[in-house]
Every structure is written in C-alpha cells, then in structure tokens.
Amino acid sequence: MSVDPKTKNILVIIAAVGAIIIGSLLIYGILVTPTRQPYRDALTQYENVNRANDALNVAGSKLNAGEATDEAFKESISKAQTALTSLRTENTALSKEEALKDGEGKAAYEAFDIKLQPYLTYNENVLVSMLKVRPALLTCSKNSTSVTETQKSVDDIRACVASLDVQKDIPDSDYAQLVVSFKSDYSRLADILQQIVALKDPKGVDSAQHKELTDELTQATEELSTTSTTFTRSVQQHRSEVLPVSASKQLESYLSSKSRLF
C-alpha cells in the first residue's frame, strides 16, 4: 500500500519535530547537569544524615533498661552512642556541601541545623542519664517486687532510697525528675511500712490504725505508678519537641527541587 505524498510529508515533519525536541532536551540536560550536580551531591549527603538518624532510632528502640542483662544493656547503649556520633559526623559533612554555603541553600541548611542540634544534645543526655540511673532503678524494682509487713521489706525499701540518693548530675530533666520523685515516693512507702511493723498487735487493739496505715500504703504504691506514667508522658512530649521533622522536610524539598532537570 502506497503512502500519500501529503501524508508522507506530514510524517516527515512530525519526525523532524520529534528529533528537534529530543535534541533540545539532550542539549538542555548537558547544559543544566553541571549546575544541578552540587545539589545532587548535597541531597546524597542529606540522605546519609537520614540513614544515620534511622540507625540511631533502631538502636534506641532496642534499649531495654529493665529486662536486659548488664552486658546487653551496655552493648545497646554503645550502639546508640555510635549511631549518635555517626549522625553528628554526617551532619558536619552536609554542612560542607557547596550547594549549602550560600543563599537559599545556606538558609535551608541553617534552619535544619538549628533544629538538629537540640535533638543531638537531647539524645546524648538521655543515653548518659540512662546509664547513670539504671543501677538504682534496678535496685528499687528488685527490692519492691514483694513488699511485706516486715522489717526486711522496710530495709529493702530504704536501700532503694539510698541508691537513688547517690544519683547526681543527671543531664536529662525527665530522668532527673524521676529520681527526685521516686526518692520521695519510696521514702514515704518505707515510713508507712515502718509504722506498720512498729504496731504491737495489728490485728488486735491497733486494728483501726493498721487499717489506716495499710490504706496509706496502698496510696503510696499507687503514687509510684503515677510517677512512672508521668515520666513516660514527659519523655514522649520532650522528644516530640526536639524532633527536627519540619526543617528536615524543607531542606529535602529544596535539594530535591534543585536537583531535578525540569
């Protein structure tokens, strides 16, 4: 089947236009790529920062201060500290990228870094604090697992209070407050228990007083639970406050847009 000469001319024109467009795109790509490369390099380094932060989050999620053995806990802390150091290193490398030294790039990076620094400090303080308070918290947990109306239980709780009392210079405010609150809670618990033990005949003439003291003991135990809940909520709030999510997204968006050809 022969092609109409007019149709053939149209097809030739279309093919020619297509070739011109493709050629223009190739030329545009050749001209633009060198100017985009610094942004692509910065974006790659930004992704390294993200990966380092992901490693920190994974290491942090594996920290179990209560159930882990001393060896396992120290290993987990070490991994988290290594990840934190890596995050600092990758961020320092990001700050040296050419695309982030002037103009919009510099402003976008500085906005990110201003948010990242408190995040780094927060995580460092938490890791140090966990190491400092864990021995005391383990002592308290062990000594208060089974509280009875005996002098032994009184002595165990006092030992818990003593272990908390030696905890000084805790950098994270939530862990510092936890120690203060637990010292107060456990001291009250020990005082009430001591009074119960001191009763000559808790089931006889002093039964009313015994009932009053056991009610106080229950309240003191509930206060320990309240302190733990308050601590958990405070940690969640403070961590959410230092997460550099918004500034991070803005920097990524900027670098991505500058890296694209179109």
* Model pLDDT for residues 217-244, shown as the tens digit of each residue: 999 999 999 999 999 999 999 999 999 9
Report the chain's C-alpha Rg in angstroms: 32
Q: What is the pLDDT of residue 28?
A: 38
Note whether 175 and 135 are within 8 A (CB).
Answer: no
Q: What is the pLDDT of residue 65?
A: 58
* CA 143 – CA 101 distance, rounded (Å): 57
Question: Counting beta carbons within 10 angstroms of the beta carbon of residue 130, is it exposed (0 to 12), middle (13 to 18) or buried (19 or more)?
Answer: buried
* CA 84 – CA 80 distance, rounded (Å): 6
pLDDT tens digits for range 108-149: 999 999 999 999 999 999 999 999 999 999 999 999 888 888
Domain count, the chain: 1
250: which 2 tokens? 């803005």
* CA 35 – CA 39 distance, rounded (Å): 8
> What is the span of the domain harbouring residue 125?
5-259
Residue 150 CB partners (closer than 8 Å, separation 6+): 197
* CA 258 – CA 262 distance, rounded (Å): 9
What's the pTM value of the predicted model, to 2 decimals?
Answer: 0.82
**Residue 205's pLDDT band (cuts 50, 70, 90):** low
* CA 76 – CA 153 distance, rounded (Å): 33
